[in-house]
Amino acid sequence: MSDPGWHRHPVRVYWEDTDASGIVFYANYLKFTERGRTEWLRRLGVDQSRLLAETGNAFVVRHVSVGYRAPARLDDQLEVQSRLAEMRPASLTLEQRILRGEQVLVQSSVQLACIDRKGRPQRLPEQVKHALSVAGTDSFPPQS
């Protein structure tokens, strides 16, 4: 699925990701999508460690909804795809999906809230808003 605007992050399924039957344990899909979101932000130039150090702001998951369509198994090569669905003054919502080849295994929507060091909601910093403004309008350039 080469739809424009999706960031792609490869993930291999390891033994530690599976249950006793060799199928990915359901909660580990959330770990895969977290990695995909982190790499999506990094690709946009948003380094979360630097953001916290410079602004005192961080992203936390406020809401997530996940639909499981088919299982991934030990040694599968997966792709986590992420894109911006909505940007609000203090939060953003991403659509994410996990694929094995062309087959969509998992679809999710996650709302991230921007907070300060005390856990209070904060407006998105200008540099983050600027970086995210390109995410919804263009596809990502090839990764090196």
Q: Which of 17, 19, 76, 138 is catalytic?
A: 19
More confident: 113 or 144: 113
Residue keyed to tokens 């499981």: 68
- The 10 Å CB-count burial string (b at 16+, else e) for 94-107 is bbbbbbbeeeebbb
Annotation says 3 is catalytic: no
DSSP state of 17: G
d(CA 114, CA 103): 33
> How much is the pTM?
0.87
Is the CATH number 3.10.129.10 carried by domain 7-135? yes
Q: Which pLDDT score is estimated for 28?
A: 97
d(CA 26, CA 13): 13
Q: Which residues contact 73 (CB under 8 A, 6 or more apart)?
A: 13, 18, 22, 23, 24
How sure is the predictor about 133, in pLDDT bands with cuts at 50, 70 and 90?
confident
